[in-house]
Structure 1
Amino acid sequence: MRLRARTVEIADPGALLELLPDSHTFAWLRRGEGLVGWGEAARLDTSGADRFLRASDWWRDLVEHADVEDDVAAPGSGLVAFGGFGFADEPGDSALVVPQVVVGRRRGMAWLTVVGDAAEPLPTPHLVGSPTSEIGDTVRFADGALSGAQWESVVADAVRRIQAGDLEKVVLARDLLAETRAPIDVRRPLRRLARGYPMCWTFHVDGWFGATPEMLVRRERGLVTSRVLAGTIRRTGDDAHDLTLAATLARSSKDLEEHEYAVRSVADALGPYCDSMNVPDAPFVLHLPNVMHLATDVTAVVHDSSGANALELAAALHPSAAVGGTPTKTAVRLISEIEGMDRGRYAGPVGWIDATGDGEFGIALRSAHLEGSTVRLFAGCGIVADSDPAAELAEATAKFVPVRDALAARD
């Protein structure tokens, strides 16, 4: 099928999440700006080690044969696909989806894109969302694949291997299950996440939702940006004490070492595709409502305007040391061996790409997979030689907080 896409500028539609219907929805928002979409004009399901390559080839072919009228010509206007990719090569369940309707807002400008079969007239959508249902009074939480004590044992095993010289760092994740009486309307936790974590990217793609603080890659008219987060400390709620903790984090040899590994892996991955790379000498401390992270923004310029698109850059960067470890191949093998669960799309790239190759892909952190009345939450921690299993469990528990509160809280 050959697609047709039409983008026009519109008056400000208000809160973008309020426009979403009750099914087949997509979202990528930060501080009220970004994209929401619904419906399905085209879709690619892919898996395996070549999932990114197949997705990029499919997207390039779709764009080449599409009829696109774009009066806005901004990143995210015109033909757009939302994507979510599996963390591991196997099974690597991934999808790239073109919505039928996309509404965007960026720097005071808003637009509407409608997509359909080029042989058929395009519909006229009504930008009025439907009412949302309550999550309910009871959300039951339970351990996922491993209990806290079992996960601490896995962390201790990883520390022994690192101390033995098998590797330098590994990122281990655990899951938490939430059950409700009735199917969950994803729009409610999305709204709570967007309100509570405005500095994060709130997303929903193909059943995976969350609020990630980490931008894997942004490509905008040739400029490439990647935000690296590695090294974490939990906030206490006492501002003065939290400032002291932030200073401690900025001096922590364990966290600085972990952060250095992650930054190095991003710079090495972007090198073949980019020029004029800027890697700051030292990280800054990113303050979020529940935790603080060491953060570094790496910037670069793609070799030429027809160079690697956002999806291909995401493929080159995944998995970084921030979500895999160092050396990455060794760490990923260890994750498969000892973590005790299938991550699915947790810590994989999630975001969007447009017809010009621009786009944004975050890392699916602070995230969960929704299926009916069951939600599977995920959190992970970077393990190095002097990691303490109990402290890592506490850090993982803190990282569950955004999605857990979004499910349990009432409006």
Structure 2
Amino acid sequence: MPSNPLPSRLRVRTVPVDVTGDLLTRIPDEVDPREVVTWLREGDGMVGWGRAVTVRTSGPARFADAESWWDRVRELAEVEDEVRDAGSGLVAFGSFAYSPASADESVLTVPRVVVGRRDGQGWVTHVVLDDEPWPPAHPAEMLARSNPRIDELDPVVETPGTVPAERWPEVVGRAVERITSGAVEKVVLARDVTVRHRDGDVVRVAPVLERLQRRYAATWTFAVDGLVGATPEMLVRLQGGRARSRVLAGTIRRGAAALHETPQGDPEHPVDPRLRLVSSEKDLDEHAYAVRSVVEALAPHCSDLQVPTAPYVLELPDVYHLATDLTGRMRSGATSLRLAAALHPSAAICGTPTAAAAAVIAELEGMDRGRYSGPVGWVDGDGDGDWGIALRCGELAPDRRSLRIFAGGGIVAASNPHAELAETEVKLTAMRHALGLATR
């Protein structure tokens, strides 16, 4: 059921404006952090705030219910779009629970205000309901204002999550036992850490997003309904009749320490971690499972599906990933949201076979992932859009005074439990840095 009833009219107006500098500085500091929406990469994209209309869904039909609601919104919307670019006009931002059994609701929301920029073209979109007046300020006047506290982090403290770090190797070891017994081929396990405002105040998300964007510009920095992060993995992009997906699976940390971690532990003969990654049977197997699951999900929707024969190494500030980019021409007429639903959950965040891996996750993780590792992104009035996988992220609690941050890794028969713990610690670095808990 919609969180707020649909109005009789939804009026949308997009006008071109000159938008320079950091888009995140346009988010007013007084805005409720759960009403901030963001989708940015290399400084371009969209930021927004406020809620015009919102739907919350749950259970196995959470994607279908959200898409049905979006169809109704598109029908009643009156759109004036002077820009006509990806993300201008009518647009909704969404994030979906990883599991149909999650107690956390999925959400699709149309902001009151969106500020966007793509390839030098900037715009502002306002949304009003029924006979509400348009905002009195000209968009250029609104953009002249800047958030004075964008660099001011809130004081936070970290406490153990559902499964403390010292117990994680035990959990991984039990997963390896399931794999060697033949119950499952690969399973992706995740753990959480709790971060609270030291003084019990609300945790503001704009400064967190700012630090993520600065350090991880090559990823997609996102915010939807209190879920904030910087994902390196594009689940699906649909634009102009062409679908694209980036698969990441297989990880090794980078830096001087990793350079001297040879399989034999010989510091006199360091091995470039990128070479170790592309020659690791464990990581290549994990990656192959993930690619296969995406191909199987896209095949019914795409013709001319292009699948590279080998992955490349994606370089991020903290880690290297094995990556594969797939592209195909749409033939099914599905929206980007429907494609995201078809692709979720991929082997990169669940495992294979899917049902068996999901059962192992439910048995061993000991937590509700919420919207972590679910699809996050946006869809426009034509059905195009971007949907990433909510990784390297944290989710605000309902009271907005704490959040859980998450990290996971793919477990296969060759996995080392202590190495898997180390991998989650490296992946937690992104959010720890963004919250001021990690300085490197």
Fold-level similarity (TM above 0.5): yes
The offset of 1:406, in angstroms, is 1.1
| Number of the residue aligned with 1:75 | 86
> Hey, what's the Cα distance between the residues in 1 that align with 2:385 and 2:39?
11
> Secondary structure at 1:408's aligned position in 2?
coil
What are the residue-to-residue correspondences of 1:231-250 with 2, within 5 Å?
231-237=250-256, 244-250=272-278
1:349-386 Cα offsets, whole Å, 9 max, x none, are: 00111001110011000000123331211000000011
| Number of the residue aligned with 1:203 | 222
Candidates 144, 163, 168, aligned match of 2:161: 144
2:81 is equivalent to residue 95 of structure 1: no
> Secondary structure at 1:275's aligned position in 2?
strand
1:133-156 Cα offsets, whole Å, 9 max, x none, are: 7334x5321210011232211110
| Number of the residue aligned with 1:116 | 128
1:263-283 Cα offsets, whole Å, 9 max, x none, are: 000010011111110000000
| Number of the residue aligned with 1:21 | 28
2:421 is equivalent to residue 393 of structure 1: yes
Q: CA contact under 8 A between 1:140 and 1:180: conserved in structure 2?
A: yes
The offset of 1:238, in angstroms, is 6.9
Using a 3 Å threshold, how does the CA distance of structure 1 residues 394 and 220 change in structure 2: closer, same or farther?
Answer: same
Q: CA contact under 8 A between 1:324 and 1:332: conserved in structure 2?
A: yes
| Number of the residue aligned with 1:45 | 56
> Hey, what's the Cα distance between the residues in 2 that align with 1:50 and 1:384?
31
> Hey, what's the Cα distance between the residues in 1 that align with 2:13 and 2:130?
11
Name the aligned partner's letter for residue 235 of structure 1: R
> Hey, what's the Cα distance between the residues in 2 that align with 1:169 and 1:119?
54
> Hey, what's the Cα distance between the residues in 2 that align with 1:124 and 1:170?
53
In structure 2, the gaps of 5 or more residues are 1-6, 261-269
The offset of 1:124, in angstroms, is 4.1
Using a 3 Å threshold, how does the CA distance of structure 1 residues 228 and 3 change in structure 2: closer, same or farther?
Answer: same
| Number of the residue aligned with 1:321 | 347
| Number of the residue aligned with 1:106 | 118
2:153 is equivalent to residue 135 of structure 1: yes
> Hey, what's the Cα distance between the residues in 2 that align with 1:379 and 1:108?
35
Q: CA contact under 8 A between 1:101 and 1:115: conserved in structure 2?
A: yes
| Number of the residue aligned with 1:86 | 97
Q: CA contact under 8 A between 1:7 and 1:114: conserved in structure 2?
A: yes
Using a 3 Å threshold, how does the CA distance of structure 1 residues 20 and 410 change in structure 2: closer, same or farther?
Answer: farther
Q: CA contact under 8 A between 2:49 and 2:111: conserved in structure 1?
A: yes
1:207-239 Cα offsets, whole Å, 9 max, x none, are: 010111000110011111110000000112479
Deviates more, 1:123-132 or 1:175-184: 123-132
What are the residue-to-residue correspondences of 1:116-195 with 2, within 5 Å?
116-125=128-137, 126-127=142-143, 128-132=145-149, 134-136=152-154, 138-181=155-198, 182-195=201-214
> Secondary structure at 1:26's aligned position in 2?
strand
| Number of the residue aligned with 1:348 | 374
> Hey, what's the Cα distance between the residues in 2 that align with 1:238 and 1:166?
36
> Hey, what's the Cα distance between the residues in 2 that align with 1:107 and 1:9?
13
> Secondary structure at 2:435's aligned position in 1?
helix
1:295-322 Cα offsets, whole Å, 9 max, x none, are: 0001111116xx1111000000000000
The offset of 1:68, in angstroms, is 0.7
1:112-148 Cα offsets, whole Å, 9 max, x none, are: 1111114333224522243327334x53212100112
Name the aligned partner's letter for residue 19 of structure 1: R
Candidates 400, 412, 423, aligned match of 1:384: 412
Name the aligned partner's letter for residue 10 of structure 1: V
> Hey, what's the Cα distance between the residues in 2 that align with 1:216 and 1:389?
27
2:247 is equivalent to residue 228 of structure 1: yes
| Number of the residue aligned with 1:288 | 316
> Secondary structure at 1:260's aligned position in 2?
helix
Compute the TM-score of the two structures, normalised by the length of structure 2. Answer: 0.90
2:365 is equivalent to residue 365 of structure 1: no
Deviates more, 1:355-364 or 1:89-98: 89-98
Candidates 333, 355, 358, aligned match of 1:332: 358
> Hey, what's the Cα distance between the residues in 1 that align with 2:419 and 2:27?
40
> Hey, what's the Cα distance between the residues in 2 that align with 1:56 and 1:370?
25
> Hey, what's the Cα distance between the residues in 1 that align with 2:317 and 2:204?
24
The offset of 1:25, in angstroms, is 1.2
Q: CA contact under 8 A between 1:6 and 1:78: conserved in structure 2?
A: yes
Q: CA contact under 8 A between 2:66 and 2:108: conserved in structure 1?
A: yes
Q: CA contact under 8 A between 1:286 and 1:295: conserved in structure 2?
A: yes
> Hey, what's the Cα distance between the residues in 2 that align with 1:240 and 1:152?
24
Using a 3 Å threshold, how does the CA distance of structure 1 residues 158 and 238 change in structure 2: closer, same or farther?
Answer: closer
Percent same amino acid among aligned pairs?
51
How well do the aligned residues superpose, as a CA RMSD in angstroms?
1.7
> Hey, what's the Cα distance between the residues in 2 that align with 1:96 and 1:211?
19
Q: CA contact under 8 A between 1:200 and 1:212: conserved in structure 2?
A: yes
Using a 3 Å threshold, how does the CA distance of structure 1 residues 261 and 65 change in structure 2: closer, same or farther?
Answer: same
